[in-house]
Structure 1
Amino acid sequence: MTERLIISVDPGPLELGQRVQEVFGHVLDLFELLAHSGSTEEAGVGWRLVRVSMNSPLTIEAEAIAIQPLPPGVELATVARRQRTTFARNVSALKHGIFPESWRSSREMARVRRAFGQSGRAVTSVMVPADDNRSKSAVLKDESVVVGPSDLPAVEKAIQDAVNDALPRPKTQRGSIEGQLQDITTYYGKPAIKVIERRSRTEVWCTVSEAHRVEIAEHANFDDVWSGRRVRVEGTLVYDEGGGLAKVIADSVHIVAVRDVAVDEIHDPNLTQGLSSDEYLDRFREGTLG
């Protein structure tokens, strides 16, 4: 039994000015999505052109063929029917605001965006003609779906959700940083301080939660900013995808006490063990210091 599929695209009113390339590109994207609607086993299935109607809507009828040997005991009709059903269900999921898992690669997401998200007023229909044992007018309902302009908000939501899911998640860990307090301000509407991190000398935003706002405010003020005071910020360190410190979600901010150190405090008269500086350095280089 031959498995067939009908896909039609109505580009919408003439005043939209859809170009031929856009309409045919729409159909090509749909057939590429069909090819990526199943398991690796179904990669051996292709769809041969049977009929094309150029009258609007542009309609393509195709039938399944084997483009590479299928595993022993696997029938072409079974695999093609499964791929076709998955494709129709994926289109139906988009219509209801759900992005299909099998189309989440960057290439397939781009095809979905072109075929459904950027098609404007176009109407896309996926139908399955009846097999030889059924009436010519019969259509398999669970494999037929129409996506039109009224479905565009749900489709766009599904696409945006998929894009957001694909974004890299920042890495977080508990820790602290030290640096020079540069500003007390807000960051995207939240209380925050800006610190020049001691090691990297880069600016780091440290946001302050409402739960810790009062406590932190007691430990830092504008005079500390003007004095360039050194602070230690403790909380959740958020790193970007490149491994750099992006920001800190602060639990506490403490002023680090800094004082002048007298030379006598660090002077050690016995450092060279009674040797002159030249003798000490020579032995140090030779590795013969006791």
Structure 2
Amino acid sequence: MSQISAKESNTLRRINLSSSFKGFSYRVSFLLYFFLAAIFLVISSISPGFVGSAREFILDFSTPVLEVVAAPFHLLDRSIQDMTHMVTVREQVQELQKERLVLLNWKRKAEELNFENKKLREIINYTQDGPRDIIPARVVSNPGGVYLRNIILNAGKENGIKKEYPVTNTEGLLGRIIEVGNTSSRVLLITDINSRIPIVTERSGVNAILSGDNSDFPHLTYVYKTSYEDSPIELGERVFTSGYAGVFPPGIPIGVVVRRDDGEMVVHPFVDLDRLSFVAVEQYVPVDVSSVLPASLQEWKWQE
């Protein structure tokens, strides 16, 4: 017990000495700071410009020091930014290389298809239609309602428009010219009950007739079967003019195949026929196929 008491007394003695030393150092520091502040105030009162000069000196002295101290941090920051930029550039280069491979693959396929197309045209002695001139026109009347699906344009013979010219816009085919005046013309829309258009489907390659019925969705006729289950035509495939009978040029987009509630295949037109403003009348001269038609079909005409 006596040994423990001696150790405790020594510990208490050291704590007291440490506390006394800390108290003494605090008092000395306080007196020193107070003395320096008093000297600074006396000098400031004697020389009012001393404070400003001291600040300028400290500023001039500290600025280079701060620049030297901050230089490594600026260098480190730039290095991090450069490394981040390099990583980003590397990722972009990798993506561009992937896209380049994809584009080269498509280019090769396009060259193969172009070569094949050229050979097939040589085999069938195909003559490509030249570019067709366009006559712009504005729609001045909306479709006539349930029993008449026509529109009137503000362009006619004076603008070079003739009967049977196809009428399109940026989405696709909307009809053909059926009447022409000097300054106006009438268009039979693809949804009119008198409209008959030879078409071909994009994927299945089925040829058919697109027949209007005064509804918003013309239906397909003269195909093997038009029910959803048995038809070779696929839902969702696009429909184009086939060019058969020479009335329309081939390849004009018309719409996409959909199915009605009763199961019949119909075509949803690309063109919104209820919101027409400006259209393009294509100067396409219908091909005369009467010389090669059988005698039984010589008198056959497209219905209007």
TM-score range for the pair, normalised by the shorter chain length: under 0.3
Largest Rg, 1 or 2: 2
| TM-score w.r.t. length of structure 2 | 0.17
| TM-score w.r.t. length of structure 1 | 0.18
More helix by share: 2
